[in-house]
C-alpha cells in the first residue's frame, strides 16, 4: 500500500481482527512522518502489556502522543506533513463514558478537530454491534454510543475499511 490518504480514514473491526496493523500499514505506505495518538490508559497489568506490545509492534520512527481524553488538542498539534494514526476511538469513548462526560459534546469536538486537522488521519475503532445484547445498562449504553460514534466517523471519512481476520474490506472510498 502506498499513496496519498484521504483527510480521514476509518478502520473498523472486532477485537484482534488486525485493524491496528492494517492502519499502521496505511500510515507507513503514505511515506509521511508517522504520528501515533494513543488513547489507552493502563489501568491494570494486562492493559500495560497490551500497550507495551503495541509499542513493540510499531518500533521505528513513530512520534507517540498520549491523549486518552483530549484528541482535539493532539490533532491541533499535528504537523501538516505528518500522517496521524489514532488508536483507538473505542478506548477514547470508554474514557469519556467512565468519566461521565457529555458524549455528544465530546463527539462533536472530535469531529470538528478531525475536520480541522491539517494532516491526514487514520482512526481505528471497534465494531461492537455484532455481538450479543449486553446484560447490563452500562454495557448496552457503551455499545449504542460506540455504534453512533462509528456512524458519525464513517459519514465524515473519505475511506472506511472493515478488517476481519486480517483481511480488509473497503466499505467506502478506495485504498491508496
Whether the ω angle into residue 146 lies within 30 degrees of 0, i.e. cis, is no
Do the Cβ atoms of 165 and 17 come closer than 8 Å?
Answer: yes
54 assigned to active site: yes
Q: What is the 3-state secondary structure (H, E, C) of 82-109?
A: CEEEEECHHHHHHHHHHCCCCHHHHHHH
Among 25, 54, 109, 118, the one annotated catalytic:
54
User: Which active-site residues does the annotation give?
Assistant: 54
Amino acid at each position: 500500500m502506498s499513496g496519498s490518504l484521504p483527510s480521514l480514514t476509518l478502520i473498523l473491526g472486532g477485537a484482534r481482527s488486525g485493524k491496528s496493523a492494517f492502519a499502521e500499514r496505511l500510515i507507513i505506505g503514505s511515506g509521511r512522518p508517522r504520528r501515533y495518538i494513543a488513547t489507552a490508559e493502563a489501568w491494570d497489568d494486562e492493559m500495560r502489556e497490551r500497550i507495551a506490545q503495541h509499542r513493540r509492534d510499531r518500533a521505528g520512527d513513530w512520534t507517540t502522543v498520549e491523549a486518552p481524553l483530549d484528541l482535539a488538542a493532539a490533532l491541533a498539534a499535528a504537523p501538516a506533513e505528518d500522517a496521524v494514526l489514532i488508536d483507538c476511538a473505542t478506548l477514547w469513548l470508554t474514557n469519556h463514558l467512565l468519566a461521565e462526560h457529555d458524549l455528544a459534546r465530546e463527539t462533536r469536538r472530535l469531529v470538528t478537530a478531525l475536520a480541522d486537522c491539517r494532516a491526514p488521519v487514520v482512526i481505528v475503532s471497534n465494531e461492537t454491534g455484532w455481538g450479543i445484547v449486553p446484560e447490563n445498562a452500562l454495557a448496552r449504553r457503551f455499545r449504542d454510543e460506540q455504534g453512533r460514534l462509528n456512524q458519525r466517523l464513517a459519514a465524515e471519512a473519505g475511506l472506511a475499511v472493515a478488517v476481519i481476520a486480517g483481511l480488509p474490506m473497503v466499505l467506502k472510498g478506495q485504498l491508496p
